[in-house]
């Protein structure tokens, strides 16, 4: 059996092209130009890259963006004040606060202070509640990206058994709700699930979002299933790389470890997954590329909903 590799790049580029057309039409027909405000506190290198990628993507698609970079010493009240200002500004359609935040700031309080109509990350309790009830809402970007991969790859979801390994508020829980919306039968597993391989081998669609490098192996995978790898981890030794990668990919991975000290890997052992899965998302190059695209999509949808250009 030949495993089909589901390219996140191809799908994300298709979504971005659709968004660019939508933004152009919105501006031409209604004078609306969506605006995304990104807030970053401190100097975390990963956060700097993530926010930079989001601001760059917005510019490419014709979306106005603002980058509010605050110092590591910023107080909780100062951050709340900024968010209150962004909430009031009518031209701002989307607000994202890049996590993690410094220890003096309560992340939950900050996320709950964002206007739900501008919550393009989909983390506000109001949007989470709407999602769980099956209402239209701004959904978290990574889970929404998983659904797009399945749909645009013509992988049937309705009536299928989907197993999600991971119960985080960012991926596992919202993804289970989105899969239910698509009429899948959903099982959610986690680090304390007993007899995990017995459950995951029942999955027509297996989603790994547990945060452990190479944790899902061949014994977890049903022959002919679809395996979606949401994990982003680091493999830092040649020994581990040999466990995870087949010969055609191994040399490149070993070189990455030698030159920069690591290679990015997911929660699935790819060498074993491609021996059993019919469809598989790689890391990198899979789900991760959809996250920014879905953030842009949420920003446009928020802009339209706030101006009643679409039904809420």
User: What is the Cα–Cα distance from 304 to 156, expressed in whole angstroms?
Assistant: 30
Residue whose C-alpha is closest to residue 94's, from 299, 307, 266: 299
Parallel, antiparallel, or unpaired for β 263-265 and 233-235? antiparallel
Kindly name the residue from 93, 115, 119, 121 that is annotated as catalytic.
121
Q: C-alpha distances in angstroms, 274 versus 86, 203, 224, 237, 290?
A: 46, 16, 10, 22, 21
Burial class (CB in 10 A: 0-12, 13-18, 19+), 47: middle
Which residues are CB-neighbours of 266 under 8 A, at least 6 positions away? 208, 213, 214, 229, 230, 231, 232, 233, 281, 282, 283, 286
- Say how many C-beta atoms besides its own lie within 10 A of residue 227's C-beta: 28
Q: What's the gap between Cα 9 and its chain centre?
A: 14
Question: Is residue 54 annotated as part of the catalytic site, yes or no?
Answer: yes
Kindly name the residue from 16, 54, 222, 276 that is annotated as catalytic.
54
Q: C-alpha distances in angstroms, 172 versus 24, 98, 138?
A: 34, 19, 16
Q: Tokens at residue 85, please?
A: 């200002």
Question: Is residue 119 annotated as part of the catalytic site, yes or no?
Answer: no
Question: Is residue 85 annotated as part of the catalytic site, yes or no?
Answer: no
Q: C-alpha distances in angstroms, 58 versus 53, 101, 166, 286?
A: 9, 23, 30, 20
Contact (CB, 8 A) for 228 and 208: yes
Residue whose C-alpha is closest to residue 228's, from 245, 206, 196: 206
Kindly name the residue from 16, 22, 93, 98 that is annotated as catalytic.
98
| Dihedral-angle region of residue 159 (phi above 0 means left; psi in -120 to 50 means alpha; beta otherwise) | left
Positions marked active-site: 54, 98, 121
């Amino acid at each position: 059996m030949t495993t089909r590799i589901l390219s996140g790049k191809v799908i994300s580029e298709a979504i971005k092209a659709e968004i660019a057309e939508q933004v152009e039409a919105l501006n031409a027909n209604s004078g609306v130009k969506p605006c995304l405000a990104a807030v970053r506190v401190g100097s975390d290198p990963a956060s700097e890259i993530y926010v930079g990628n989001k601001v760059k993507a917005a510019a490419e698609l014709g979306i106005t963006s603002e980058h509010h970079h605050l110092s590591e010493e910023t107080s909780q009240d100062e951050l709340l004040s900024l968010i209150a200002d962004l909430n009031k500004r009518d031209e701002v359609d989307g607000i994202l606060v890049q996590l993690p935040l410094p220890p003096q700031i309560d992340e939950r309080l900050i996320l709950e202070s964002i206007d739900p109509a501008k919550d393009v990350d989909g983390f506000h309790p109001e949007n989470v509640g709407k999602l769980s009830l099956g209402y239209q809402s701004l959904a978290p970007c990574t889970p929404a990206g998983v659904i797009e991969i399945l749909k645009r790859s013509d992988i049937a979801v309705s009536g299928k058994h989907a197993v999600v390994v991971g119960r985080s508020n960012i991926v596992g829980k919202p993804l289970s709700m989105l899969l239910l919306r698509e009429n899948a039968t959903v099982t959610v597993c986690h680090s304390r699930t007993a007899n995990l391989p017995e459950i995951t081998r029942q999955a027509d669609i297996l989603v790994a979002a547990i945060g452990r490098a190479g944790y899902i192996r061949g014994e977890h995978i049903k022959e002919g299933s679809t395996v979606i790898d949401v994990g982003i981890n680091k493999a830092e030794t040649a020994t581990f790389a040999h466990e995870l990668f087949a010969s055609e990919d191994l040399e490149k991975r070993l070189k990455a470890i030698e030159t920069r000290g690591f290679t990015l890997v997911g929660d699935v052992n790819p060498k074993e997954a491609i021996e059993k899965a019919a469809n598989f998302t790689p890391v990198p190059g899979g789900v991760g590329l959809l996250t920014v695209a879905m953030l842009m999509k949420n920003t446009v949808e928020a802009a339209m909903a706030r101006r009643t250009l679409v039904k809420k």
